[in-house]
Chain A
Amino acid sequence: MFPGPTQCGKPMDKEERMKKLAVFAAAMLIGLVLAASCYAASPVKITYIYWGSPAEDVAIQKALKDFEAAHPGITAEPMYLAVTGTGTEYNAKMKAMAASDTLPDLGYFRPEEFDNYAKNGFFLDLTQLANRDGMIKDYLPTTWLSNGGKIYGAYTAAECQVLYYNKNVLADAGVPAPPADYTKGWTWSQFVTYLKKITVDRNGKHPGDQGFDVKKVLQWGIRYELWTFMLYPTVWGNGGAFFSKDGTQVLLDKPETIEAIQRLSDLMNKDQVMPPTSSTTSMAAAQTQLQTGQIGFYVSGQWELLDFGKKGFPYGVGALPIHKTPAQIYLSGANVIFSSTKHPEEAWQLQKWMMTPDATLGLYSEGLWMPTKASWYTSPTDLAKWISNAVHPESFKGAVVDSMKVAQLEPRLVNNAEIITTYVTPALDAVWTGKVSAKEALTKAAAQIRASGLLQGAYN
């Protein structure tokens, strides 16, 4: 290795010098060729950000791999975020990436933050791309997320509210299964009557019976998820609303809204068919309570099917009770392409891929998502792909799929988070405890919101 004493300092003769030069030149040439070929064949790499349960994680990874197989030359790198769907750590991470210009190419995005980022130019304008590839007509109109008239994102899936029930509990209590047609849901009073039949305490007494002890209930009629999105079908179905669609008016104190909220509160405090709950405190184990028969009905999102399908207990779905008209909510996470991407065309290809229900069929057939592609709601062949299985009960089509015809989006208010967290949720929490009437709490909240100056319209 080391030059010996004899070699050190000896001048090289001409032949040696030529040899060395030749080797050097050859090495350079090979190096250049390699570099060139690497560059030429180097795959385009795009990063896809997402989150979700381990099951969702597996499905997305598979979808990305399938995409790579179908598109040689593109590498789709998964960036899995270990966040819960509701946490604010997600915001911290997003902002950190945005502030340091290290955003991924595309992927999931929380709809609450969508407008702020959109109007600040963080997303790629998809309007032309979507039109160019003829996507607009193939998808539900509610799928596309626009800001200022331009399309900046698409909802990942269509998600909505579902009424679940435990078949055994209903059978034992002598309660019929709810209708399978969303237009024929029970009236509210009929619903409450059934709930009272199911609710029973340790001594076999029902609410309203002499000696019924609400502290010794063995089996409850129902559990409603009470976070804001879950309230909308009830509120809208009664003819009420929280805010006007254009975000300029507070409708919390509209009599129809008050009545709807009061009805839900009464389930806990007057009818005594629902265990006490709050809007903000997380609920542990409502799903398991349905499974073990501690509750008869459960109102939550359709994503619970992913879980129920695996548990294998006899569950059913039925039409939500109707207050005045059938109503349904449309909610979902959003998919965007970040404007900082270096490969917009490839990112768009991946976006289209992920919007094709066939690409991530498992997530649909296992119950986590509902498709955004319109034909999957009407064409029998496409429908069969995702609902003809044990996870989706027979009544799913009539009670849930069809109800998407009346599904509405929540208005995207400016200052939405602040208004809801500061005024709406605390008011609702007070109502749920039964200490304050809905009329009192909502009227006060509405006045506070009007006075706060936070109401500044909505995005579109």
Chain B
Amino acid sequence: MERSQRFWGWIFIMPLTLGLTVWVAFPLGISLVASTWRWDMISRPRFVGLGNFIRMFTADPLFLQAVVVTMKYTLLNVPLQLVIAFCLALLLSSRVKGIGVYRTLFYVPSLIPVVVSAAMWLWLFDQSFGLFNVILEQVGLPPQQWIFSSEQVIPSLVFMSLWTVGNVVVIFLAGLQGIPRQLREAVSIDGGNAWHEFRHVIIPFMSPVIFYNLVIGLINSLQTFTQPYIMTHGGPSNASLTYLLEIYQQGFQFNKMGYACAMAWLFIIVTILMSAVLFKSSGRWVYYEGEKK
């Protein structure tokens, strides 16, 4: 059995091994080398050793800004996303008429191409004529500056990203569907109420899914790029300059591809460390029904 598992194991993951070699190792390898270069991609690169990394921490005002902005965004976005998505998934797994329609409705925002939703949200956020301020005015609240203010731009972007929480909801939903009904019924037979069911059946069973959404949500939030890129170009006053946006800017606008690669590698290392910590901790609170102990 041991031999056969090893054989089949490697066969099964062959697409992964190949893919990692061709599509990951090679480009990453180049970018690692490039992180020691001064390179604008069209002229000959110049070797600068650790110069890029040193510059990051000493001579680049935008680097620190990008880190702070990204942390702010992530710390706000991830918990909100998880909680809201989970609650929505619970709601959407109830047996109510037309639940299929509701599920689709909640997912629709995630389907709209970013290019279009950006245009829409720009209009929604418009300070004089946008829908949000019009609504606020109707209910007697003061109009907000939204993405046009350096203080409000991050919360506004988080708000906008919560609108596409359907992605996370869908995965929670799939997980909820898989909880054996007998177990849920067993709780009520034993005299427990909804809270007990929640705490002792749903959460443990959902823990792998929660873990997945936590890790993915964290990684995605740290990599936020498209929205600030399209909507605010990192402004106002670089208040929405996320880390990935800064990498892109350095590489493709300032023609400092080597520096961008250096920034990217720092990011990769930090994210790997963060995920490693999460994975280690998962041993304690994530429960796998199908794992042989």
Binding site for B on A (CB under 8 A): 88, 91-92, 95, 98-99, 116-117, 120, 122, 215, 217, 220, 275-285, 289, 294, 415, 417-418, 421-422, 425-427, 429-430, 432-433, 448
Q: Please tell me if the beta carbons of A215 and B62 are within 8 angstroms of each other in the complex.
A: no
Q: Please tell me if the beta carbons of B122 and A282 are within 8 angstroms of each other in the complex.
A: yes
Q: Please tell me if the beta carbons of A215 and B252 are within 8 angstroms of each other in the complex.
A: no
B191 within 8 A of A: no
Question: How long is the Cα–Cα vector from A91 to B145 in the complex, in angstroms?
Answer: 32
Minimal beta-carbon separation of A252 from chain B (angstroms): 16
Question: How long is the Cα–Cα vector from A217 to B254 in the complex, in angstroms?
Answer: 40
Question: How long is the Cα–Cα vector from A433 to B151 in the complex, in angstroms?
Answer: 11
Contact of A284 among B126, B149, B150 (CB under 8 A): B126
Q: Please tell me if the beta carbons of B235 and A275 are within 8 angstroms of each other in the complex.
A: no
B142 within 8 A of A: yes
Question: How long is the Cα–Cα vector from A386 to B128 in the complex, in angstroms?
Answer: 37
Q: Please tell me if the beta carbons of B237 and A116 are within 8 angstroms of each other in the complex.
A: no
Q: Please tell me if the beta carbons of A284 and B122 are within 8 angstroms of each other in the complex.
A: yes
Question: How long is the Cα–Cα vector from A426 to B123 in the complex, in angstroms?
Answer: 23
Q: Please tell me if the beta carbons of B231 and A281 are within 8 angstroms of each other in the complex.
A: yes
User: A99 — which chain B residues lie within 8 A by C-beta?
Assistant: 41-42
Q: Please tell me if the beta carbons of A88 and B122 are within 8 angstroms of each other in the complex.
A: no
B61 within 8 A of A: yes
Q: Please tell me if the beta carbons of A217 and B128 are within 8 angstroms of each other in the complex.
A: yes
Q: Please tell me if the beta carbons of A215 and B150 are within 8 angstroms of each other in the complex.
A: no
User: B255 — which chain A residues lie within 8 A by C-beta?
Assistant: 116, 417
Q: Please tell me if the beta carbons of A122 and B42 are within 8 angstroms of each other in the complex.
A: yes
Q: Please tell me if the beta carbons of A116 and B252 are within 8 angstroms of each other in the complex.
A: no
Chain A residue with minimal CB distance to B142? A215
B8 within 8 A of A: no
User: A426 — which chain B residues lie within 8 A by C-beta?
Assistant: 235-238
| Majority DSSP secondary structure for residues of B touching A | loop
Please classify how large the interface on chain B is, using the bins under 10, 10 to 19, 20 to 34, 35 or more: 35 or more
Chain B residue with minimal CB distance to A418? B254
User: B40 — which chain A residues lie within 8 A by C-beta?
Assistant: 116
B72 within 8 A of A: no
B169 within 8 A of A: no
User: A88 — which chain B residues lie within 8 A by C-beta?
Assistant: 248-249, 252-253
Q: A281-B236, A289-B129 are in contact. Are A276 and B122 (CB under 8 A)?
A: no
Q: A88-B248, A276-B145, A429-B237 are in contact. Are A116 and B42 (CB under 8 A)?
A: yes
User: A91 — which chain B residues lie within 8 A by C-beta?
Assistant: 252-253
A-B contact pairs, 24 of them (CB 8 A): A98-B41, A99-B42, A117-B42, A120-B42, A120-B43, A215-B142, A220-B128, A278-B148, A278-B236, A281-B231, A281-B236, A282-B231, A284-B126, A294-B129, A417-B253, A417-B255, A418-B253, A426-B235, A426-B236, A427-B237, A429-B150, A429-B237, A430-B237, A433-B150
Residues of B148-192 at the interface with A, using a CB-CB cut-off of 8 Å, are: 148-150
B258 within 8 A of A: no
Q: Apart from A280-B234, A426-B237, what 15 extra A-B contacts exist at CB < 8 Å? A: A91-B252, A92-B252, A95-B42, A95-B252, A220-B128, A276-B145, A277-B148, A278-B236, A279-B235, A281-B148, A284-B119, A285-B123, A422-B61, A426-B238, A430-B237
User: A120 — which chain B residues lie within 8 A by C-beta?
Assistant: 42-43
B233 within 8 A of A: yes
Question: How long is the Cα–Cα vector from A276 to B248 in the complex, in angstroms?
Answer: 28
Q: Please tell me if the beta carbons of B123 and A425 are within 8 angstroms of each other in the complex.
A: no
Minimal beta-carbon separation of B257 from chain A (angstroms): 8
Question: How long is the Cα–Cα vector from A280 to B238 in the complex, in angstroms?
Answer: 9
Question: How long is the Cα–Cα vector from A78 to B276 in the complex, in angstroms?
Answer: 50
Minimal beta-carbon separation of A199 from chain B (angstroms): 11
B147 within 8 A of A: yes
Q: A88-B248, A421-B249 are in contact. Are A281 and B61 (CB under 8 A)?
A: no
B232 within 8 A of A: yes
B117 within 8 A of A: no
Q: Please tell me if the beta carbons of B129 and A280 are within 8 angstroms of each other in the complex.
A: no
Binding site for A on B (CB under 8 A): 40-43, 61-62, 119, 122-123, 126-129, 137, 142-143, 145, 147-150, 230-238, 248-249, 252-256
Contact of A276 among B148, B230, B233 (CB under 8 A): B148
Q: Please tell me if the beta carbons of B235 and A429 are within 8 angstroms of each other in the complex.
A: yes
Q: A88-B248, A417-B254, A429-B150 are in contact. Are A280 and B233 (CB under 8 A)?
A: yes
Chain B residue with minimal CB distance to A277? B148
User: A280 — which chain B residues lie within 8 A by C-beta?
Assistant: 232-236
Chain A residue with minimal CB distance to B62? A422
Minimal beta-carbon separation of B243 from chain A (angstroms): 16
Minimal beta-carbon separation of A397 from chain B (angstroms): 34
Q: Which interface residue of A278, A429, A430 has the most chain B CB atoms within 10 A? A: A278
Q: Please tell me if the beta carbons of B233 and A281 are within 8 angstroms of each other in the complex.
A: yes
User: B253 — which chain A residues lie within 8 A by C-beta?
Assistant: 88, 91, 417-418, 421
Q: Please tell me if the beta carbons of A281 and B232 are within 8 angstroms of each other in the complex.
A: yes
Question: How long is the Cα–Cα vector from A116 to B257 in the complex, in angstroms?
Answer: 14
Question: How long is the Cα–Cα vector from A277 to B129 in the complex, in angstroms?
Answer: 12
User: A283 — which chain B residues lie within 8 A by C-beta?
Assistant: 122
User: B43 — which chain A residues lie within 8 A by C-beta?
Assistant: 116, 120
Minimal beta-carbon separation of A201 from chain B (angstroms): 11
User: A427 — which chain B residues lie within 8 A by C-beta?
Assistant: 237
A-B pairs with lowest CB-CB distance, top 5: A280-B235, A429-B236, A426-B237, A275-B128, A91-B252
User: A275 — which chain B residues lie within 8 A by C-beta?
Assistant: 127-128
Chain A residue with minimal CB distance to B145? A276
Chain A residue with minimal CB distance to B255? A116
User: A432 — which chain B residues lie within 8 A by C-beta?
Assistant: 236
User: A220 — which chain B residues lie within 8 A by C-beta?
Assistant: 128
Minimal beta-carbon separation of A273 from chain B (angstroms): 12
Minimal beta-carbon separation of B67 from chain A (angstroms): 16
User: B231 — which chain A residues lie within 8 A by C-beta?
Assistant: 281-282
Chain B residue with minimal CB distance to A294? B129
Minimal beta-carbon separation of B231 from chain A (angstroms): 7
Question: How long is the Cα–Cα vector from A282 to B126 in the complex, in angstroms?
Answer: 10
Question: How long is the Cα–Cα vector from A380 to B46 in the complex, in angstroms?
Answer: 55
Q: Please tell me if the beta carbons of A276 and B236 are within 8 angstroms of each other in the complex.
A: no
User: B238 — which chain A residues lie within 8 A by C-beta?
Assistant: 426
Question: How long is the Cα–Cα vector from A426 to B238 in the complex, in angstroms?
Answer: 6
Minimal beta-carbon separation of B96 from chain A (angstroms): 37
Minimal beta-carbon separation of B229 from chain A (angstroms): 8
Question: How long is the Cα–Cα vector from A67 to B238 in the complex, in angstroms?
Answer: 46
Q: Please tell me if the beta carbons of B235 and A278 are within 8 angstroms of each other in the complex.
A: yes
Chain A residue with minimal CB distance to B233? A280
Minimal beta-carbon separation of B13 from chain A (angstroms): 31
Question: How long is the Cα–Cα vector from A91 to B148 in the complex, in angstroms?
Answer: 27
Question: How long is the Cα–Cα vector from A253 to B274 in the complex, in angstroms?
Answer: 45
Chain A residue with minimal CB distance to B232? A281
User: B148 — which chain A residues lie within 8 A by C-beta?
Assistant: 276-278, 281, 433
Minimal beta-carbon separation of B43 from chain A (angstroms): 5
